Amino acid sequence: MSAQESEKLANFPSECLEVKPLCEKILSYFPNADIDQVQRAYLFSKKHHEGQFRRSGEPYISHPVGVSEILADLRLDLPTIMTGLLHDTVEDTEATLEDIEREFGQTVAELVDGVTKITQLSFKNTHEKQSENIRKMIVAMGKDVRVILVKLADRLHNMRTLGHMPYEKQKRIGQETLEIYAPLASRLGISSIKMELEDLSFRFTHPDRYYELVQKVSKKRKEREKYIDDVKKILEDEIGSRFKGGFEIQGRPKHFYSIYKKMAASNLDYEQVYDLLAFRVIVDNIPQCYEILGHIHTLWKPIPGRFKDYIAIPKANNYQSLHTTVVGPGAERIEIQIRTHEMHLVAERGIAAHWKYKSSGKVDVKMEEQMEWLQELVSLHQQSGSSGEFLENIKTDLFDSHIYVFTPNGEVKEFREGATPIDFAYAIHTDVGNHCVAARVNGKMVPLRTRMKSGDTVEVLTSKNKTPSKDWLKYCVTSKAKSKIRSFVQEEERKRARQIGQDLLEKEFRKYGMSLGKNLTDGKINDIEELKKTGANNVEDLYVRVGYGKMLPKQVVKAVAPDAKTLDEKKEEESFLSKAYKSAVQRKKKSRSIISVDGMDDILVRFAKCCNPIPGDPIKGFISRGRGITIHKADCEKIFAIDHDREVDVAWTVKSAPEGVERMARVRVVAQDVPGLLRLMSEVFSSLGINIYNAQIRTTKDRKAVCLFDVAVKDTAQLSKAMQNLEKIKGVLGVTRVTQI
């Protein structure tokens, strides 16, 4: 420690001793830091959180201190670390943003505001809350990426202490972390946070499998540590005898979640998984990376198809390394990564590694290329029709497996694995995507649905007469392509609905001997109360509402001229929605419907087969031509292609379906093929009063039993309980709900 650092810590205030380790971390990489500001932020937070406690029983201040220590581990600037200390004060105490700005300046106040806005929202249900929170987080991140760094640190510290929460909350938060926060940390290049979030999420979402794996790994700990030491010694001797530059060698076992993914992907036991160890060789410059690669391939035989050059073509998060897998001592497969010191810094700290400190203490940010991805997400927020759609798009964009293809000019484009020339076309330009007709891959004509592979050279052919179709959504994977296609299709549907609405209104007005143009104007819509209630701002909006069946032509005529009489009542024509409602009233069931539409429970509804909602699922309703209202799960992928002008308010009228009208659900169980398994699974359902209507069982080549059960359940709680009990059966490897029946 330097004399300057020692002096700053020598007379550390006794009331701030809790943040002394934090200040020591800050001074280790920022010797000129004004740690008095950190102490003031700590005291402010401690004062306002006085009397508040965590679920563990610890004083609440332990949480913001823990968050700030994580931020200091990333070597972030003082405003970010102070935000970590203050991030819950506005949300959970009487402190205001004005107080924070007055005490700590505008920058800190804006960062605290960005973090606070993500959580200060109210929602109808958990799914909507999650979707909108993620949406707000991405928008805030677009304004200042430090907001998401604080949010990631906040989530990591909460995950470390999640064991004090109820089981259901542990599982829900763990799943959300696995789907959103861990991939987000990965996309920002912060591998240290990503790996810890994955392992913690794995522990809470699949506790039995997590602890079983921990036990198996622990059994071979000494053997593994000796093997790592042996390999490091061989590498040091071999490279040291041939290589003139300086180098550093690291060895480590892969983290639990990555091992579990390998096991699950190939249906393997732990003992059958290879490639469990990873080694790093860190050198001074890029030419040395390739020189070391040559020495390693001379020493051990490389495995074909396992070499990746992320130095020449970096990942989207700016990660760079050479990856190779070789057959090491004892015929063990080992992965070796070769990188420079600068690459190692970026690999560990990602976007945080780009923050450089000037003498003034201000931050110089050098991350324009990486921020392009972030700006695309912000743009996606503006184009997405709903928070649910945005959340699904985010999950797609955070997907970790990517391919790299070339334009005819040699420019590299990155895509999620499974991408097609349609994705490529929209990545070039929206107009190219909207008019693409075919593609040429490596000089050969291919259909647009062809999946691209790394190294392909792709060229897209266009035609002015070609436009997107709904079918394209089946063949693209990027959120940008999907969003643009949906936007185009929905706009075309809106145009058709507008024309249909105008035609229907003209016809209806003629029946009454009236002129549409003279009797319906923008001004009249604002003057007539019945029309104002529809939410239409002008005549065009009204045409669309009528075209979609949200309003009957007759209603419009009666609103404009209440006393008008038809010329010929017998020729009166109702729109498809009127017929659906009329049919529903005539066929009203003796028992009350389990779905209400706009507060009415006697409306004809049908449940979508694509997602098969059951009571307890968040739901959305859409008008279906000639079939009343179709009920989808709120996160169903199909609804993103439906124009949201056709959406109506729907809700479950009961928490559980009454006897005789239970909903059908399908459960998929993958297990080891052992005697008595079917009996044990059947007992789980019968013990909960669940009837099995159909069961299909098949055995795979590797002696795994794949079982499909169609069961009648009252609600999601009953289904979840059954799935939890199935997971407890010895030999069961996985239990999932299959939404499409």
Q: Is the pLDDT of residue 258 over 80?
A: yes
Lowest mean pLDDT among 308-317, 358-367, 449-458, 653-662: 358-367
Return the structure tokens found at 82: 């102070």
Asked if residue 49 and residue 17 are part of one domain, the reply reads yes
pLDDT averaged over the chain?
Answer: 81
Closest Cα to residue 287, out of 243, 325, 222? 243
**Is the residue at 571 inside a domain?**
no
> What pLDDT digit, counting tens, does each position of 157-198 carry?
999 999 989 988 899 899 888 888 888 888 778 888 999 999
Lowest mean pLDDT among 69-83, 393-407, 513-527: 393-407
User: Any idea what the CATH number is for the domain that residue 714 is in?
Assistant: 3.30.70.260
Asked if residue 407 and residue 295 are part of one domain, the reply reads no
Residues in contact with 427: Cβ distance below 8 Å, sequence separation at least 6, in sequence order: 413, 415, 478, 480, 481
Which pLDDT does position 43 carry in this prediction? 96
Residue 459 bridge partners (DSSP): 440
**Is the residue at 167 inside a domain?**
yes
**In whole angstroms, what is the distance from residue 546 CA to residue 569 CA?**
20
DSSP 178: I
Final residue before a domain boundary, out of 420, 452, 477: 477
Asked if residue 100 and residue 243 are part of one domain, the reply reads no
Lowest mean pLDDT among 134-148, 342-356, 660-674, 692-706: 134-148
> What pLDDT digit, counting tens, does each position of 369-388 carry?
555 555 555 555 455 545 45
Asked if residue 188 and residue 248 are part of one domain, the reply reads no
Q: Residue 459 — φ and ψ, nearest 5°?
A: -130, 135
**In whole angstroms, what is the distance from residue 471 CA to residue 487 CA?**
14
Which pLDDT does position 587 carry in this prediction? 36
Residue 315 domain boundaries: 215-355
**In whole angstroms, what is the distance from residue 443 CA to residue 439 CA?**
9
Lowest mean pLDDT among 250-254, 369-373, 554-558: 369-373
Asked if residue 339 and residue 223 are part of one domain, the reply reads yes
Decide which of 528 and 651 is more confident: 651
Q: Looking at this protein, which amino acid is placed at residue 18? A: E
Q: Is the pLDDT of residue 626 over 70?
A: no
pLDDT category of residue 574 using cuts at 50, 70 and 90? very low
**In whole angstroms, what is the distance from residue 543 CA to residue 306 CA?**
59
Give the distance, in angstroms, between the CA of residue 549 and the centroid of all CA atoms in the same chain.
34
pLDDT category of residue 707 using cuts at 50, 70 and 90? very high
Decide which of 11 and 365 is more confident: 11
User: Looking at beta carbons, which pairs linking 264-272 to residues 24 or more positions away fall under 8 Å?
Assistant: 264/733, 264/734, 267/670, 267/700, 267/702, 267/704, 267/733, 270/213, 270/216, 270/217
Residue 606 bridge partners (DSSP): 630
Catalytic residues: 91-92
Q: Looking at this protein, which amino acid is placed at residue 545? A: R
Final residue before a domain boundary, out of 445, 477, 509: 477
Q: Looking at this protein, which amino acid is placed at residue 606? A: R
**Is the residue at 566 inside a domain?**
no
> What pLDDT digit, counting tens, does each position of 211-226 carry?
988 888 887 888 888 9
Asked if residue 21 and residue 92 are part of one domain, the reply reads yes
Sheet strands (E) in 341-457: 355-357, 363-365, 402-406, 412-416, 436-441, 444-446
Q: Is the pLDDT of residue 238 over 50?
A: yes
Q: Is the pLDDT of residue 270 over 80?
A: no
Decide which of 40 and 12 is more confident: 40
User: Any idea what the CATH number is for the domain that residue 258 is in?
Assistant: 3.30.460.10
**Is the residue at 329 inside a domain?**
yes
Which pLDDT does position 357 carry in this prediction? 40
Mean pLDDT of 54-75: 93
**Is the residue at 363 inside a domain?**
no
Decide which of 478 and 356 is more confident: 478
Which pLDDT does position 132 carry in this prediction? 54
Cα 623-608-654 angle, rounded to 5 deg: 90
Sheet strands (E) in 180-316: 248-253, 277-283, 301-302, 308-309
**Is the residue at 680 inside a domain?**
yes
Closest Cα to residue 89, out of 122, 113, 66, 68? 113
Task: Quote the crossing angle between the two packed helices 191-205 and 207-219, to the nearest 10°.
Answer: 120
Q: Which H or E run includes 733?
A: strand 732-738
pLDDT category of residue 604 using cuts at 50, 70 and 90? confident
**In whole angstroms, what is the distance from residue 143 CA to residue 132 CA?**
17
Give the other-Cβ count within 10 Å of 515's Cβ: 11
Cα–Cα distance list, 52 to 16, 56, 692 (Å): 18, 12, 49
Rank 459-468, 527-536, 636-645 by mean pLDDT and report only the highest.
Answer: 459-468
Which pLDDT does position 365 carry in this prediction? 44
User: Any idea what the CATH number is for the domain that residue 77 is in?
Assistant: 1.10.3210.10
Mean pLDDT of 647-651: 86
Asked if residue 411 and residue 345 are part of one domain, the reply reads no
Give the other-Cβ count within 10 Å of 671's Cβ: 22
Contact 144, 79 (CB under 8 A): no
Which pLDDT does position 218 carry in this prediction? 84
Q: Is the pLDDT of residue 499 over 70?
A: yes
Asked if residue 178 and residue 242 are part of one domain, the reply reads no
pLDDT category of residue 271 using cuts at 50, 70 and 90? confident
Mean pLDDT of 587-613: 71
3-class DSSP string for 614-662: CCCCCEEEEECCCCCEEEEECCCHHHHHCCHHHEECEEECCCCCCCCCC
What does the CA dihedral 673, 674, 676, 682 come to, rounded to 10 degrees? -30
pLDDT category of residue 231 using cuts at 50, 70 and 90? very high
pLDDT category of residue 355 using cuts at 50, 70 and 90? low
> What pLDDT digit, counting tens, does each position of 473-491 carry?
889 988 888 888 988 988 8
**In whole angstroms, what is the distance from residue 422 CA to residue 462 CA?**
11
DSSP 145: T
Asked if residue 166 and residue 300 are part of one domain, the reply reads no
**Is the residue at 381 inside a domain?**
no
User: Has this prediction a pTM greater than 0.95?
Assistant: no
Q: Is the pLDDT of residue 125 over 80?
A: no
Mean pLDDT of 404-408: 85
- Residue by residue, DSSP assigns 432-486 as HHHTEEEEEETTEEE-TTPPP-TT-BEEEEE-TT----GGGGGG---HHHHHHHH
Asked if residue 157 and residue 92 are part of one domain, the reply reads yes
Q: Is the pLDDT of residue 585 over 50?
A: no
**Is the residue at 712 inside a domain?**
yes
From first CA to last CA, the distance across the chain in angstroms is 65
Q: Which H or E run includes 583?
A: helix 576-586
**In whole angstroms, what is the distance from residue 614 CA to residue 666 CA?**
11
Which pLDDT does position 199 carry in this prediction? 94
What does the CA dihedral 480, 483, 489, 492 come to, rounded to 10 degrees? -100
Q: Which H or E run includes 217?
A: helix 207-219
Rank 356-365, 462-471, 565-574 by mean pLDDT and report only the highest.
Answer: 462-471
Contact 400, 419 (CB under 8 A): no
Residue 308, burial from CB neighbour count under 10 angstroms (0-12, 13-18, 19+): middle
Asked if residue 696 and residue 633 are part of one domain, the reply reads no
Asked if residue 151 and residue 8 are part of one domain, the reply reads yes
**% pLDDT > 90, the chain:** 34
Q: Is the pLDDT of residue 128 over 70?
A: no
Contact 484, 430 (CB under 8 A): yes
For residue 601, the SS3 value is coil
Q: Residue 338 — φ and ψ, nearest 5°?
A: -125, 125
What is the number of structural domains in the chain? 6
Final residue before a domain boundary, out of 192, 212, 232: 212
Contact 334, 230 (CB under 8 A): no
Closest Cα to residue 405, out of 478, 497, 486, 505? 478
Q: Residue 313 — φ and ψ, nearest 5°?
A: -125, 90
Mean pLDDT of 602-627: 83
Mean pLDDT of 415-442: 92
